[in-house]
Structure 1
Amino acid sequence: MNTNSTDQFFKSKVLGHPAGLFVLFFTEMWERFSFYGMRALLVMFFTASLIDGGWEWPREHAMAIFGSYVGLVYLSTMLGGYFADKIIGYRWAVVVGALLMTLGHGSMALETPFFIYLGLTLLVFGNGFFKPNMTSIISEMYRDRPEKKDGAYTIFYMGVNAGAFFGILLCGYLGEKVGWSWGFGLAGVFMFFGLLQFWFAQNIFGDIGLKPKKENKEQVQHADGDKRNPFTIWQTGLIIVSVVLGLLWILNDPASKISGGKINIFDFHVFGLEGNNFIILLALLIFLFLLIFRLTQYAEITREKLIAVSFFAFLTIFFWAIFEQAPGTLTIFARDYTDRVLEGNAGNIFRIVNALLTIVPLAIITWVLYRLFRQTFKNYALSNVILSCSFVIVWAVGIWMLYDQYQETSLEVPASWFNTLNSLFIITLAPMFSKWWESKYNPNANVKFGIGMFLLALGMACVAFGAGGIEPGAKTASVSMVWLILVYLFHTMGELCISPVGLSYVSKLVPVRMIAFMFGVWYLAVAIGMKGAAKFGENIDKIANENGISYFFWMLTIVSLVMAFVAVAFRPIIKNLMHGVK
């Protein structure tokens, strides 16, 4: 067998693709199950009353630590990607990441302050090792079959969203109805199953993902003809200073709030700014200076393409800062301000819909699992047995949930349930948007971003309008669930216009040797957006008490509309900078 050719992987196929793709499919599915399952519970756990088993934190504190957590998750991908590329390889990076996340979820199930913080730390580093390297294995597997890549990533993306859907649905239900530790613990159980399944089937990937060889790195360094521009000592020093200041800020921000100022390493003022604000502005200014300086060192065409990428990264910050209200302020809105009690026919309709949403996707994925077994059971029996055990548990928990809801005379929809709509709408709408991008009506990059930001604004306008009758200072209300459903519908359509499109343009516009650096810039923008979402959310109580919660959502609507206008208005300029890249 020629191990240098990737055609070897197509000898054992499932649904026209290598069986190895589906090993990755299920591994990623369980990782997303654990990540989104825990994420759906975190803010609710922090803000729930002591009687309900929570910590009874103010929303400001919960959003501060949540924002730092998700921001660090995206920043850690640069560290995990570096270790995988340079030292341990993709395969070991996935194993290390899965193990760290398993331990992280297990720690959080203990619910004590020490273990909650330890768990979040382990999850940050675990995601960093795991997240960037699964797609790298797929890319290598299809190296000699580029025409099959789009289909492969579509299947993989379905695994991502299936895991997110079931994680939020089942972990959220257990956490809210039985106990928080059950929700956190279930997430850890399936991360462990994903780890074992991947470990015992890893030989299916041949030599892909093993420890990198020196000659491969040299080939990448000389992959394009433009002049190289290595980092000098002073530039590396500025990166280190910026990263250290940023990390200290992102850790100190929640620590100073939660401790009431007792823990605050930036307890000073400079030019009238609080120490926290001064430090993060300084870190961003250092990074921007370095980015702008390096852009001046490249050939004109390369420089202009990188400026276009930076513009889209700037828009991405605002998109994620508003989109990521879902696990925070929108979940709190669902819990405290939405009428989630369904009786009579309304309750029966929800039971039927929820049963179909649970059983039909599970049946489809179980069928895929059966197809995988037929191809791989002989050589990877243990991996398949572990995978089948995990599905038995999922079926059991899902059927128990449906039976428990059937027994309730007055059905209360879990607040976390609304987060499942994002994954459901993605699976439903992604094929339609894919067809749109392939048609003659395919808009250019700026218009796509503009449409995405407008849809984001439309979603926020729905919840703002629905909350219009809530008086300032009100702690509870009974707004119709329809408004939240519309929010997730419009926001998902906005995500399909921006999230996959943005990553695609990074890969198209950036020279090969610089792709790691610019993906780092991109993920930094995402991390800033995630933390920005939390900074918005920290102010929800103050704004709600003074002007009403509807005012908060109208503010986010206006920001989204402004950024939609910016995206479209800069279309002629960015089009020239992209030099024909479509």
Structure 2
Amino acid sequence: MNTPDTPGALNTPHTPHTPHTPRAPDAPDAPGSPGGNGLRGRPRWFVTLFIVDMWERFSFYGMLAILFLYLVADPGDGGLGMAEGDAAALSGLYMSLVFLSALPGGWLVDRVFGARRATLHGGILITAGHLLLAVPATGWLYPGLGLVAAGSGLVKPGMASMVGRMYDGRPERREAAFSVFYMSIQVSALVAPLVTAFLGERVSWHLGFGAAALGMVIGLVCYGAGWSSFGGIGLAPDRPLPPAEARRLLVRVALIGGLPALVVGSASVAGLLTVRQVLMLAGLTVLVVPAVYYRRLLRAPGIGPAHRGRLRALRWMLLASSVFWLLFAQGPLLLNLFAQEAVDRVVGGFTVPAGWFQSAQPLFLLLLSPVAAALWIRLGRRVGAPAKFAGGLLLGGGAFVLMAGAASAAGRGPVSPLWLLGVYLLLVCGELAVGPIGLSLSAEVAPPGFTGRMLGLFWLFAAVGAAVGGQVGRLVDVVPDPVYHLLLASLGLLAGVALTVSARLLRRRLDAPAGSAVPPARAS
């Protein structure tokens, strides 16, 4: 799943500047600046952050390619021997926590650490988490996953904040920079599974996790080497937290978060709570946070009745996006297992590692993103966001109709890899109709001063989809695989049909300008 990168990049607010703010003579990308000029005319600071982002994503996607397979693998083969349903729930919860961590992480960047130290601390946490996972002993799984999720919540908003500050007053340059960073995500997502899946499946699962750790270590070394290229950017938080307020906040966090976590942890150690019960409690938390966050935004000062109407319409779009991410989250989970157990992976005498199929999604994204961008430009305003969302959900549902066919065919023996590649192709086409369109819509309907929070809200609902997708995976323990995939297909298709039917009404409400009457219906 390629989307967990974006929340950090979009949740970090920047100090507003006019479009014509002149560039300071010592700006880090100016000639003769401390940053100097790096690769192909890019400033050195940019090259440094690009390398860090690339290796951080390498570590994330490399681990995600083998995590589920490691959880369900037989202990004799070095795995944990989890039930498929429990492993799906844990993997889905982990993905959702990566989304959620960007919210407190972005706050820590702005108020406590500053962007530069937050990125460094986050990289260290990620490295430590992967190293724990690389230890060939039981008991390190949950601390390792927790450290990686926490570190991701600091690294992404930290780096995004620095890029944004470097290009203050030059939005076109900032947009171009983030586009280049998005390419690094896809390249890392393409290459990382090839490395970690080969090592994990052929040599040792823990060696695969170790390769992910090595990737982050390389990123940290590059970050340290390029430290001086950032000038004074990101050294201090934008709005430092007063010491008295920091102490009050620490007490509040300990009471609200620390005590419940201590109680749950103690109950787990004492055997009063099973792993399944702990995962269900954590999943319930993931469901509650976006709902609370949305209600607080809806009641925030500065949001008038007209904006509230648009936000209420957006809620249905966000719920629909959760359904799509629920489907998309199956890729690193049960589709990986299907690749391992039911796909003919022998090519010229070489058995392709199952995790390599995770590289299909970023490959299709790299190939199809320009096509999708050209299509949206050609369609213009004739087709609104609800109709595009509906198309994405119908494609997602269609992917699992195809997957049900593959599962049925697998009952007669290993199936062609083209089945699975077709499923990934449909899911990627759906992602291109939901992911970027949803982000653009969230920014469009955001009240003034709320853009960052609205974009964060979009990814919070994506976290809901990932968490629920993992919990839904428990059904594989009680229903046949073809039935399971048809249930997923039905969910996507029903959501797509519902959006198709309501597209015209939703578009009217989403397009309603603040302070005016709802415009007449247009094409959906």
How does the TM-score come out when normalised to structure 1?
Answer: 0.74
Residues in 2 aligned to 1:137 and 1:26: alpha-carbon distance in whole angstroms: 14
Structure 1 pair 314/340, CA: closer, same or farther in 2 (3 Å)? same
Which of 487, 492, 497 is 1:560 aligned to? 492
Q: Map of 1:146-295 to 2, 5 A cutoff?
A: 146-214=171-239, 262-263=272-273, 283=288, 287=292, 290-291=295-296, 294=299
Quote the Cα distance in structure 2 between the aligned partners of 1:265 and 1:65. Answer: 9
Asked if structure 1 preserves the Cα contact closer than 8 Å seen for 2:88 and 2:471, the reply is: yes
Q: Which whole-Å CA distance do the structure 1 matches of 2:463 and 2:126 have between them?
A: 19
Unpaired stretches in structure 2, ≥5 consecutive residues: 1-21, 32-36, 243-248, 514-523
C-alpha contact 1:78 1:520 (8 A) present in aligned 2: yes
- Is the counterpart of residue 55 in structure 1 residue 75 in structure 2? no
Q: Which amino acid aligns with 2:171?
A: P
- Check conservation: 2:61, 2:189, Cα contact below 8 A: yes
Match of 2:53 in 1: 28
Alignment of 1:491-502 (within 5 A): 491-502=427-438
Q: Do the aligned partners of residues 143 and 444 (structure 1) sit closer, same or farther apart at CA in structure 2, a change above 3 Å counting?
A: farther
Cα separation, partners in 2 of 1:266 and 1:38, compared to 1, 3 Å: closer
How far does residue 578 in structure 1 lie from its aligned partner after superposition? 2.8
Residues 565/207 of structure 1: CA separation in 2 closer, same or farther (3 Å cut): farther
Q: TM-score, normalised by structure 2?
A: 0.81
1:302 maps to 2:298? no
Please state how far the C-alpha of 1:142 moved relative to its aligned partner: 2.5
Aligned pair 1:9/2:29, yes or no? yes
1:463 and 2:403 are equivalent in the alignment: yes
CA pair 504-93 structure 1, distance change in 2 beyond 3 A: farther
* 1:277-426 map, 5 Å: 283=288, 287=292, 290-291=295-296, 294=299, 298-342=303-347, 347=348, 410-426=349-365
- Following the alignment from structure 2 to structure 1, what is the Cα–Cα distance between the partners of residues 293 and 155? 28
Partner Cα separation in structure 2 for residue 431 and residue 188 of structure 1: 32
CA distance in 2, matches of 1:4, 1:167: 38
Matches within 5 A, 1:1-150: 4=24, 9-11=29-31, 12=37, 14-15=39-40, 17-150=42-175
1:9 counterpart letter in structure 2: D
Aligned mates of 2:176, 2:341 — CA distance in 1? 42
Match among 551, 561, 564 for residue 483 of structure 2 = 551
Q: How far did residue 504 of structure 1 move?
A: 2.5
Which residue matches 1:481?
A: 417
How much has 1:285 moved relative to structure 2? Answer: 10
- In 1, are the aligned partners of 2:286 and 2:467 still within 8 Å (CA)? no
Please state how far the C-alpha of 1:455 moved relative to its aligned partner.
Answer: 1.6
By how many angstroms is 1:9 displaced? 1.5
The one of 503, 508, 512 aligned to 1:576? 508
* Cα distance in 2, alignment partners of residues 7 and 282 from structure 1: 43
Does the C-alpha gap of structure 1 residues 341 and 101 become closer, same or farther in structure 2, counting only changes over 3 Å?
Answer: same
Q: SS of the counterpart of 1:479?
A: coil
2:350 partner letter:
L
Provide the C-alpha distance between the structure 1 equivalents of 2:180 and 2:257, rounded to a whole number of angstroms.
38
Select between 181-190 and 49-58 the one with higher mean Cα deviation.
49-58
**From 521, 525, 549, the counterpart of 2:457:** 521
User: Are 2:472 and 1:533 aligned?
Assistant: no
Say if 2:440 is the partner of 1:504.
Answer: yes
CA distance in 2, matches of 1:161, 1:568: 31
Q: Is the 8 A contact 1:3 1:207 kept in 2?
A: no
- Show the counterpart of 1:351: none
- Which amino acid in 1 is paired with 2:394? F
Separation (CA, whole Å) in 2 of partners of 1:288 and 1:554 = 33
Q: Distance in 2 between matches of 1:575 and 1:558?
A: 24
Residue pair 1:242, 1:283 contacting (<8 A) in 2 also: no
**Aligned equivalents of 1:285, 1:91: Cα separation in 2:** 28
Maintained 8 Å contact 2:391/2:496: yes
Note the C-alpha offset of 1:452. 1.3
Q: Size of the alignment, in residue pairs? A: 478
8 Å Cα contact 1:241-1:283 kept in structure 2:
no
Identify the range of structure 1 (411-420 vs 455-464) with the bigger mean alpha-carbon deviation: 455-464
CA contact (8 A) 1:242 1:287 kept: no
Deviation at 1:243, TM superposition (A): 7.9
SS of aligned partner of 1:570 = helix
The equivalent of 2:391 in structure 1 is: 451
Q: Secondary structure at the match of 1:439?
A: helix
**Cα RMSD for the two superposed structures:** 3.7
1:81 CA displacement = 0.5
Change (3 A) 1:281 1:499: closer
Q: Using the TM superposition, give the Cα deviation of residue 561 of structure 1 relative to its aligned residue in structure 2, in angstroms.
A: 0.9
Provide, for residues 86-110 of structure 1, a one-character-per-residue CA deviation record: whole Å limited to 9, x for no partner. 1211121111111100011111100
Q: Distance in 1 between matches of 2:301 and 2:494?
A: 29
Distance 1:240 1:8 in 2: 37
Q: What is the rounded CA distance, in whole Å, between the counterparts of 2:369 and 2:298 in structure 1?
A: 39
The Cα of 1:297 is off from its aligned counterpart by 7.9
What is the SS of the residue equivalent to 1:51? helix
Matched AA of 1:124: A
- Deviation track 1:282-301 (CA, whole Å, cap 9, x = no partner) reads 94797289448627983122
Please state whether the residue corresponding to 1:428 is helix, strand or coil. helix
